[in-house]
Structure 1
């Protein structure tokens, strides 16, 4: 196994984007926290309702992590999202490599969609009259954005034995996604997308939510789910190199500036999980 992951090197533009989205999502977290502290005594929400709102936020955060994961693996490719998709694909061919990326990569994966979606929602919520409902809603947005800031960190806990007893206990209680639960996704990559605690996987997979959304999107747009990923996996098996799928009438395109030639041989020795 190589000492560093295959897409460790980021361009200056990619670093700036990662920093921007992590900072933006951090700002949303702070904005929600200030609102919650400021209006805590105004609302007077009882402790059981506060706990219910926190648990709801933790469930929604897990669902959002699954939606991001599903969207990334089902509809996007390197030409759309570049290095982010490359890292996601490497994570399936070499699962342990995901542990070797830095804070920016881990935090920007969830921070980008979180800031773009829940930032405007949090602002809109703050403009409404302060009630128990708006306060509970803001608590949900706070928990979601905080979990998405550390979404890949939750995910990485499911890729290795936890070092601390408190984390091992949290995994046994399913408060944090346990490795055995997440590894189902690595054996069958179209289920168990949710990675914060895994709670949302049970209703999503039982109701076949992701397949229903795929059928709906395909009917509306004509796009085929995982078509690019299937072509990419065939390309990987044939060449042993992480490349973008072949386009009609063109040669396979290497992922620009992210696949150093010195790693090609090591990739060939890898293989699908």
Structure 2
């Protein structure tokens, strides 16, 4: 009788342990315990809303994300003084030429141009969003940090960002947007060149008082390029806002809510490993359409078929770096 009771007790205990294990595994399909700041989804891990990079994870104790990740530390250490100088020069150059461009655009605005300005604003939002996605996809998916020039100069921040997503919030404007300022400088220069012929500079003694009137289309084109340049400069700042979990000004939260810039929750979808969707980080307007038509996977399929190279191999290599060597 005693033996039978013991056996029954052991069986019940085993069943309970099995049940608890199954329950834990089921829970693990949707989340990690409250001590972690990551959410587990089918296909990988993503940041939890409110995460400020204090994540610990997984059961083996190896950091999956954050500044304590060995790969993130090594990548952060590759940011050089030369790169900083280049970004600083580009930022101040864009600020000066951009201010001149803004003055020319504002001095030439007419109420008759408003419909064309609205069209230019929408087109600029779409174009900036597409190219932000294209560059983001290309830098995430292809190439290696070991490549000369573009490896450490362009690809390194993308590798760091996936294993330390909120590192961008600890970077100042120059480090975050210096490269984009360099892209905007030619745009500002072209716009200024186009607009200066329509600007009355006689008050500065630089031109005769009579100036040619520009057409709606000419001003609309310049305004489109101007908004595009501004969005290019601001893209990584907008990206930074999508990783800032507290302290954002109300006007930025409104822009995110109104989908005038990429919303925080939408961008979180990109941070589900292996980071293969929702690449657009300016307005976010094109993320769902491009995802719906399978644009990025199809593009990757073509490139892999031609080159034999699989996407995101370097990205995954850095994510798996658990020791600094």
TM-score by length of 1: 0.71
8 Å contact 1:25–1:114 — kept in the other structure?
Answer: yes
Equivalent of 1:233, from 313, 316, 321? 316
> Which string of whole-angstrom CA distances, capped at 9 and with x for unpartnered residues, describes residues 149-186 of structure 1?
12111001111235333322222211222211001011
Q: Which runs of 5+ in 2 are unaligned?
A: 1-53, 55-66, 198-211
- Could you tell me how far 1:224 is from its partner in structure 2? 3.0
Q: Which protein is richer in helix relative to its size? A: 1
SS in 2 for 1:82: helix
Equivalent of 1:29, from 70, 91, 98? 98
Q: Tell which structure's C-alpha radius of gyration is larger.
A: 2
Partner of 2:13: none
CA separation in 1, counterparts of 2:189 and 2:295? Answer: 25
Equivalent of 2:282, from 185, 196, 210? 196
Partner of 2:262: 177
| Change in CA separation of 1:161 and 1:84 when aligned onto 2, cut-off 3 Å | same
SS in 2 for 1:177: coil
With 98-107 and 63-72 compared, the bigger mean Cα shift is at 63-72
- Could you tell me how far 1:11 is from its partner in structure 2? 2.5
CA separation in 2, counterparts of 1:87 and 1:218? Answer: 24
SS in 2 for 1:59: helix
8 Å contact 2:142–2:314 — kept in the other structure?
Answer: no
Partner of 1:140: 224
CA separation in 1, counterparts of 2:279 and 2:253? Answer: 21
SS in 2 for 1:40: coil
> Which string of whole-angstrom CA distances, capped at 9 and with x for unpartnered residues, describes residues 241-261 of structure 1?
5xxxxxxxxxxxxxxxxxxxx
> Which string of whole-angstrom CA distances, capped at 9 and with x for unpartnered residues, describes residues 72-117 of structure 1?
212333223314322211111121222111221111242334446x
Alignment of 1:210 onto 2:293: no
Alignment of 1:104 onto 2:174: yes
Partner of 1:186: 271
Partner of 1:77: 144
Partner of 2:209: none
Equivalent of 2:215, from 122, 131, 153? 131
Alignment of 1:62 onto 2:129: yes
CA separation in 2, counterparts of 1:165 and 1:28? Answer: 30
| Change in CA separation of 1:137 and 1:155 when aligned onto 2, cut-off 3 Å | same
- Could you tell me how far 1:8 is from its partner in structure 2? 6.0
SS in 1 for 2:90: helix
CA separation in 2, counterparts of 1:32 and 1:206? Answer: 38
